Amino acid sequence: MTIEELEKVLDMQEEILQFSHFTNEDAWMLGNIIVSEAHRRALPVAVSIRLNNGYTVFQYAADGTNLCSQGWLDRKYNTVKMTEHSSLNLYMTLRETEQSLEDLFLDPREYAACGGGFPIRVEEVGVIGAVTVSGLDHVSDHDLLIKCISMYLHIDEVPRIRAV
């Protein structure tokens, strides 16, 4: 796939995977779906669901994760909060434009141009937070989110990206 085709898939994912509402209970249920899928596949991931005001409503860290994992979760959250798009979307944009985070005046210690952060977009409201995963390669982090959010929303037909 070309970068343009990958960007179209990412835009479609964000258009399709919108919530009608999102409460702390929704965060608990979505977070548990992600953790269950990670357990089923023996994936050593850290998971966080955080609202735009910075409040963490769900967090999990598998054995094998560490403070470095938390740093990645934080940077991916910051990226989604700033762009209101997936962190993989920013990665693709930077690849297409041949720019870096620094070219956008973003500190790589605070932002991440890699997959693993996805916006929580509520229909007719907008982006209210982000769900983030860290521990795999960045495309697999993103794909885990897409698979689990799709399961939570009961949406079967979501295009996925498995390799870049």
For 70-95, write each residue's pLDDT tens digit.
999 999 999 999 999 999 999 999 99
Q: What pLDDT does residue 85 have?
A: 97
The 10s digit of each residue's pLDDT in 17-75 is 999 999 999 999 999 999 999 999 999 999 999 999 999 999 999 999 999 999 999 99
Q: Which helix (H) or strand (E) holds 131?
A: strand 126-134
pLDDT over 70 (residue 122): yes
Q: Which domains does the chain have, with CATH numbers?
A: 3-153 (3.30.450.150)
Residues above pLDDT 70, as percent of the chain: 99
Which of the 8 DSSP states describes residue 109? T
Give CA–CA dist 112/158, Å, rounded: 24
